[in-house]
Chain A
Amino acid sequence: MPASITRGQLFSRGAKSSAVLLVGGSVLGQFVDTAAASPLSTTDLAYARLLVGAELLASDFYSQGVAASNSGPVVDGYLHRALANEQEHYQSVAGILTGAGMTPAVSGDIDFSYPAGTFASQGSIVKFARQLEELLLGAYLGAIAGIQADALKAGLAQIAACEAQHASYFTAAGGSKAFKSSFPPPLTIDQASDALDAFTA
């Protein structure tokens, strides 16, 4: 889905488009419209850039996880699904920046690095996926708390819910309890930035 897609283009795809696409698309449209309607604060734009970077990391990781071809069919299916989700999330949060007339980072702009052996086995992939999803969940929860434009919060919460589902699945797949905390902790922007930076070259 191109970043510049409009709501009209999205809905014109008709009834064949899945409900998932429409829901994801409505978040994209909501973000673009909000950013275009009135100037966002520097804090909100900073959050958007951070989340774009986080989604690029997630897409890069799941792409490599799929390409490694060393997971069983069930985990492999979830890796593919998570990749698709993260790509849709990227388009949505990038829409905040494009709506504000700015250029979001793209995959070639950031070089990611992973701990040795991250893609060596299904177990190592699942372990990193859990760590990554907890980072993403914390970053989105922090953004919901810190972002000033109320119109962006609902969409960010939808994405956070999806990241929580990812975290839950990969935690269980790694042999731990699928969920534990009643209130998963948010990350401040500097905590999220530092955590993300650990995986950039």
Chain B
Amino acid sequence: MRFSRIISLLAVVALGAALTVAGAQANSSKTAAGLTIFAGSSMTTVLPEIDSGNTYSFGSSTTLATQIRNGAPADVLMSANTTVPASLYAAGVVEKPVNFIRNTLAIVVPKSNPAGIKSIYDLTKPGVEIDEAASTVPVGSYTVQVLNQMGINDAIQANVVSKETSDANVVAKVALGQVDAGFVYLSDYVIDPAQLRLIKVPAWAQPKITYAMAIVTKSPNQATAQAWMNKVLSPAGQAIFVKDGFLPIAAAVPTITRISPARAKVGGTVTLTGTNFTGTTSVTIKGVAAKFKVVSATKLTLTVPAKAKSGTITVTNPSGTATSKRLTIA
């Protein structure tokens, strides 16, 4: 982590103490006129990379949700869990939430690792000083969930010396060496690992960390907000998240149930019916790539390429490939 970022994060901590809006702590990043997006602090770096033209307000997803309930003028909420948007949706405050990315829980220690931490189990040793987020914010909730699943929550809580309002604050304290270890998201480490060392949380105990976003019902910018969500879900948007240590939303494997027509000429259009076509990355006819258009999740059209020969059609998305019955090239 660059020193300037640590200072910035500490400034956020200090600012948080001063803010009084619903007890909120938020780090606003104002740029050109655009949408106003309230987002969990783990997305502080990645969202401006996707679009720098929005106004972002970063903080605890729980706190941001409270602000939106109280009428804060947000267009979109992007939460580090699915429960906060779901509760706002149930209350009619936001439109139906959409899952958009996943994350992994991790442990970070100072680069010098003064406590000699090699495994999560080392955090149970007497004298180790640990920082974690409060259980009222998503990353803190995930931390307690993991520790309970491993049967070591009591032992580790005995070593917790501080509880923060966000993962960013945990990262800052660990990077400055104020504590021996902290629980954060993997993306917090990937984005800026210079002052940190990563300790894995065992895969068998990992919680399912899924982020969800929703358009605020009272937003006057519904169409623009929907376009933003599409951008986040697009391959380009997902690639930026993945670069920063997040995990893509697992798309379901596509299926093909019907080809129409079953006989086509070069240059002709063939329509496929099936499922999970959204996110399709390639379509081939007997191994020859074809131009295609995703009409909907259940309908896809393709153009028979010049070199195509009779054979099966494949549709591939990040989760897998579907293979059709034979298409005859006339």
Interface residues of A (CB under 8 A from B): 41-43, 45-46, 49-50, 52-54, 56, 105, 108-111, 189-190, 193-194, 196-197, 200-201
Contacts and interface: CB of A to CB of B under 8 A. Distances in A.
Given A50-B204, A194-B121, A197-B200, 6 more contacts: A45-B149, A49-B204, A50-B205, A189-B151, A193-B150, A201-B203
A46 B203 contact: no
14 contacts: A43-B151, A45-B151, A46-B149, A49-B149, A53-B204, A105-B204, A108-B250, A109-B203, A110-B206, A194-B119, A196-B204, A197-B200, A197-B202, A201-B203
Nearest to B124: A190
Contact of B203 (A41, A189, A200): A200
Nearest to A51: B204
B230 interface: no
Nearest to A111: B203
Nearest to B203: A200
A193 B204 contact: yes
Interface residues of B, number: 17
B234 interface: no
Contacts of B206: 109-110
Given A108-B250, A190-B119, A190-B121, A196 B202 contact: yes
Contacts of B149: 45-46, 49
B148 interface: yes
A193 B152 CA distance: 13
B210 to A, nearest CB: 12
Contacts of A201: 203
B152 to A, nearest CB: 8
A104 B200 CA distance: 20
Contacts of A49: 149-150, 204-205
B114 to A, nearest CB: 21
Nearest to A146: B151
B151 A52 contact: no
Contacts of A42: 148, 151, 153
Nearest to A190: B121
Interface in B175-221: 200, 202-206, 208
B324 to A, nearest CB: 24
B148 A197 contact: no
A46 B150 contact: yes
A109 B6 CA distance: 33
A34 B327 CA distance: 55
A113 B208 CA distance: 20
A49 B206 CA distance: 10
Contacts of A196: 202-204
Contacts of B250: 108
A52 B121 contact: no
Interface in B95-119: 119
A194 B149 CA distance: 16
A146 to B, nearest CB: 10
Nearest to A112: B203
Top 8 nearest A-B pairs (CB, nearest first) are: A53-B204, A46-B151, A190-B121, A200-B203, A42-B151, A110-B203, A43-B151, A193-B202
